[in-house]
C-alpha cells in the first residue's frame, strides 16, 4: 500500500469506464441507494489530467471535495477551480463536467439524487483543446 492509499478516507474502488472518463478514475460506491430510495453516495478519485464527459443529472448532484485540485464547469460558463473543502451544488439537468487538474489528483464525494431516468445522462467528451486551455 502506498502513502496515498494509507491516508485516503475511502478505498479507491473500481476503475471508471473509459466510455465516461478521459483518463483514469476510480469509483467506490459508498451507499448504492439509501433506504428511502432518494439518493446514492460515492467516492471518485481522478488521476492527474482525468476528467469525466459532459453529463447531466435529472435530479441534481452535490460534490464534496476531499483532496487535490480539480475543475468544475457548466456548459457556457467558465471553469471553476476546486480544492479540498469546496462544495458544488449541481442544479437539475445542467450540462457539466468535473475532473482533476493537470498536475494533481482530485477526490470528491458525490451525492446523487435518484430519478426514474437514472442517476446520470452521459454525453460527449471534454475536448483536449478545451481542457488544455485551463490554467
Quote the Cα angle for 26-28-34, to 5°. Answer: 150
Q: Which domain holds residue 95?
A: 27-126
Structural domains counted in the chain = 1
**Predicted confidence (pLDDT) per residue in 16-75, tens digit:** 999 999 999 999 999 987 677 788 999 999 999 999 999 999 999 999 999 999 999 999
Contact partners, residue 86, CB within 8 Å, separation at least 6: 63, 65
The CATH number of residue 35's host domain is 2.60.120.10
Q: What are the grid coordinates assigned to 42, written together?
A: 460515492
Residue 10 lies in a domain: no
Q: Dihedrals φ, ψ of 64, to 5°?
A: -120, 110
Length of the chain: 135
pTM tops 0.75: yes
Amino acid at each position: 500500500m502506498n502513502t496515498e492509499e494509507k491516508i485516503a478516507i475511502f478505498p479507491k474502488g473500481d476503475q471508471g469506464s473509459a466510455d465516461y472518463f478521459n483518463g483514469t478514475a476510480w469509483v467506490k460506491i459508498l451507499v448504492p441507494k439509501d433506504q428511502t430510495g432518494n439518493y446514492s453516495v460515492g467516492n471518485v478519485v481522478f488521476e492527474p489530467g482525468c476528467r469525466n464527459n459532459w453529463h447531466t443529472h435529472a435530479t441534481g448532484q452535490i460534490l464534496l471535495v476531499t483532496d487535490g485540485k480539480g475543475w468544475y464547469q457548466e456548459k457556457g460558463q467558465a471553469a471553476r477551480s476546486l480544492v479540498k473543502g469546496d462544495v458544488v451544488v449541481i442544479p437539475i439537468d445542467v450540462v457539466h463536467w468535473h475532473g482533476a487538474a493537470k498536475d494533481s489528483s482530485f477526490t470528491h464525494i458525490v451525492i446523487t439524487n435518484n430519478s426514474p431516468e437514472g442517476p446520470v445522462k452521459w454525453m460527449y467528451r471534454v475536448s483536449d483543446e478545451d481542457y488544455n486551455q485551463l490554467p
